[in-house]
Amino acid sequence: MIEVKNLVYRYPKNKGATVKDISFSIDKGEIFGFLGPSGAGKSTTQKILIKLLTNYLGEITILGHNHKKSDSGYFNQIGVCFELPNHYLKLTALENLKYFAEFYRQKPVDFIPLLERVGLAKDADTKVEKFSKGMKMRLNFVRSVMHNPDILFLDEPTSGMDPVNARKIKDIILEQKQLGKTVFITTHNMHDADELCDRIAFIVEGELKIIDSPKNIKQMGGKRVVQVEYENGIIESQEFLMEGLADNLDFLDILRKNHIRSIHSKEASLEDIFIQVTGKNLLSHENIV
Amino acid sequence: MKTLFKMVIWDLKIQARNQIITVALIIAAVYTAIFFLLGLRGNDKILIALIFSDPTFMGFIFTGVLVLFEKSSNTLQALVVTPVKSWQYFYSKAISLTIISLIVCFAMIFASHGFRFNYFYFLSATFLSSLLFIFLGFIGVAKIKTFNQYIIVIPLFIAPFSLPYLNFFGLTNSPWLYLFPTQASFFLFEGSFCKITSFEIIYSFGYIILAIGVTHYFANRLFKKYIIRGE
């Protein structure tokens, strides 16, 4: 569906390249997460894929076509949800959708069910200038899916949303995958990436450090131990190796004689592995010392 | 063309919501009121001087304001990832602003002068001057980020294009001022009320169309470079 080979991009005013010889491919029906701190090159890569930036080196094939040669018809096949709201503030939510729908081959018959899905149906006739950031972001998202595109490019799709509305958006993203749509997500939200993505790429300073499933990535740095927290007059905790756990007498003894508060496997989080692999924190440019 | 037509309708709606049409009508009403209050009815020179400023200077300012509205709300970013083509966006703005300009200018002339004038020259003068200044507006606003910056840019464009006022009012008779396409605008507006020479007709149409072609070329380039790609 998306094939990127040896992609290099340098902004005209910069000395060095922002994207440095990266390669990856995304299959149809896959949710692919691009994770990295600000300035890592993830937005630049997305801008190239959505044709906002064109003077790149390398080869990109999307939907079987050479990306450099694809015309404006390409935009009928993609939906883009930007990180920041971008609506005509003096138009209502419904008018904004109707205006943008004019440009697409496949226009939605009815916009209200779409707005209903993200909790905006009752605000359909409200001017967008009166919306909160979260409402504008939900409208951004509706606009990106309303023309039934084959590929979705989502930049921080749950940014500025409360957990309930973020859940609605994540459910729709997973539905889109079920419908065979390909989803490219750029984010630094590890929880969203872990929950939604089939595969994740870590990008730092323009280079791809790792591409794998969240599960495999988390196993790379996790300790194969379980931590048991229990009450024995006082609250105590102890770690046990997973190997031979069923025959570990100390572990079984604790289970039999104490009130168990919790038992957790100590797998690493995506953030732990990100720091381990890249030496960077996702939310800043700073190196982790 | 169907998309362009729909975009023009939407642009007119957006301009109405942003009060641009209201402001344009208020300015026209103020001009007309000044014309009557100063007892200038019958003074075609003053009428032309006032009407000239509408498609030209107002067109330049409104173009900048519209683009800055879109820059500040990031809507351009959303538009460029749709199948809409940059020329459609570009012409939609030009056509919608020209329509407003035509309505305002005709309203002003009907109110101030009546219905006896050369409609062909007046329509040509308004339409061509409006297009020229809308494209100049795109050039002027391309690298600008805020309204405050644009206020500084406005006189830099308007002042040199105002110089043909000197020839128009007979203060000078300099052929050098023919280099400014607004000289051609003045001839066409004058043609609406009195006879103009064959040279003036050929020069006016030829030069203003040439100027529109040149400004369109640069406006389109700068629009793509600074407004769409944000370089």
**Structure confidence by residue, pLDDT tens digits, B38-87:** 877 778 888 888 888 887 888 899 999 999 988 888 898 899 899 998 88
What is chain A's percent helix, strand, coil content, to nearest 5?
Answer: 35, 30, 35
DSSP letters for A42-82 = HHHHHHHHTTS----EEEEEETTEEGGG--GGGGGSEEEE-
The pLDDT value recorded for residue B229 is 67
DSSP state of A286: P
**Side-chain half-sphere CA neighbours of B141 within 13 A:** 27
- Option in B10, B228, B231 nearest A99 (CB): B10
Write out the H or E segment, with its range, that includes residue B1: none
The pLDDT value recorded for residue B54 is 81
Taking CA–CA distances from B78, the nearest residue in chain A reads A86
The pLDDT value recorded for residue B10 is 95
Classify burial at B202, counting beta carbons within 10 Å of its beta carbon; exposed 0-12, middle 13-18, buried 19 or more: exposed
Q: Do A87 and B7 touch (CB under 8 A)?
A: no
- pTM for this entry: 0.84
- Option in A75, A86, A90 nearest B83 (CB): A75
- Option in A52, A89, A103 nearest B82 (CB): A103
The pLDDT value recorded for residue A6 is 95
Report strand pairing: A19-26 vs A2-9: antiparallel
DSSP letters for B187-220 = HHHHHTTS---HHHHHHHHHHHHHHHHHHHHHHH
pLDDT in tens, B130-160: 999 999 999 999 999 899 999 999 999 999 9
- Option in B6, B17, B79 nearest A90 (CB): B17
Taking CA–CA distances from B230, the nearest residue in chain A reads A52
The pLDDT value recorded for residue B36 is 84
- Do residues B140 and B218 make contact, with C-beta atoms less than 8 angstroms apart? no
DSSP state of A267: P
Mutating which of A86, A92, A143 best tests the B interface, going by the most B Cβ atoms within 10 A?
A86
Q: Do A103 and B78 touch (CB under 8 A)?
A: no
Q: Token match 């990100």: residue?
A: A274
pLDDT interval class at B14 (50, 70, 90): very high
The pLDDT value recorded for residue A284 is 54
Q: Do B82 and A88 touch (CB under 8 A)?
A: no
Kindly state the average pLDDT of the residues B119-123: 94
Residue B87: CB atoms within 10 A of its CB come to 12
Q: Do B81 and A78 touch (CB under 8 A)?
A: yes
Mutating which of A9, A51, A100 best tests the B interface, going by the most B Cβ atoms within 10 A?
A100
The pLDDT value recorded for residue B3 is 86
- Do residues B70 and B84 make contact, with C-beta atoms less than 8 angstroms apart? no
pLDDT in tens, B153-211: 999 999 999 999 999 999 999 999 999 999 999 999 999 999 999 999 999 999 999 99
Length of chain A: 289
Distances, alpha carbon A45 to alpha carbons A4, A39, A210, B133, B193, in Å: 10, 11, 16, 37, 59
- Among residues B20, B81, B219, the alpha carbon closest in space to that of A47 is found at B81
Minimal CA separation from B73 to chain A, in Å: 6
ipTM score assigned to the predicted complex? 0.84
What is the rounded distance in angstroms from the CA atom of residue A200 to the CA atom of residue A270?
10
Minimal CA separation from A280 to chain B, in Å: 29
Taking CA–CA distances from A80, the nearest residue in chain B reads B81
Write out the H or E segment, with its range, that includes residue B230: none
The pLDDT value recorded for residue A40 is 86
Which tops the pLDDT comparison, B29 or A276?
A: B29
A contacts of B7 (beta carbons < 8 Å)? 102
The pLDDT value recorded for residue A289 is 41
Minimal CA separation from B191 to chain A, in Å: 41
Kindly state the average pLDDT of the residues B14-24: 92
- Option in A80, A86, A103 nearest B75 (CB): A86
Per-residue pLDDT of chain A (289 residues; tens, 9 = 90+): 899 999 999 998 888 999 999 999 999 999 999 998 888 888 899 999 999 888 899 999 999 999 999 988 899 999 999 989 999 999 999 999 999 999 998 887 789 999 999 999 999 999 999 999 999 999 999 999 999 999 999 999 998 889 999 999 999 999 999 999 999 999 888 889 999 999 999 998 899 988 999 888 887 776 778 899 999 788 889 989 888 888 999 999 999 988 999 998 877 778 888 887 777 666 554 444 4
Q: How many CB pairs under 8 A join A and B?
A: 62
Kindly state the average pLDDT of the residues B114-118: 90
Distances, alpha carbon B133 to alpha carbons B154, B156, B217, B229, in Å: 11, 13, 13, 23
What is the rounded distance in angstroms from the CA atom of residue A137 to the CA atom of residue A132?
9
Three-state DSSP state, A155: strand
Q: Which tokens is A176 given?
A: 């889109």
Classify burial at A118, counting beta carbons within 10 Å of its beta carbon; exposed 0-12, middle 13-18, buried 19 or more: buried
- Option in A12, A53, A89 nearest B73 (CB): A89
- B residues 41-100 closer than 8 Å to A (CB): 73-75, 77-85
Q: Do A87 and B17 touch (CB under 8 A)?
A: no
The pLDDT value recorded for residue B124 is 95
The pLDDT value recorded for residue B210 is 97
The pLDDT value recorded for residue B165 is 93
What is the rounded distance in angstroms from the CA atom of residue B48 to the CA atom of residue B62?
20
What is the rounded distance in angstroms from the CA atom of residue A202 to the CA atom of residue A220?
14
- Do residues A4 and A152 make contact, with C-beta atoms less than 8 angstroms apart? no
The pLDDT value recorded for residue A280 is 67
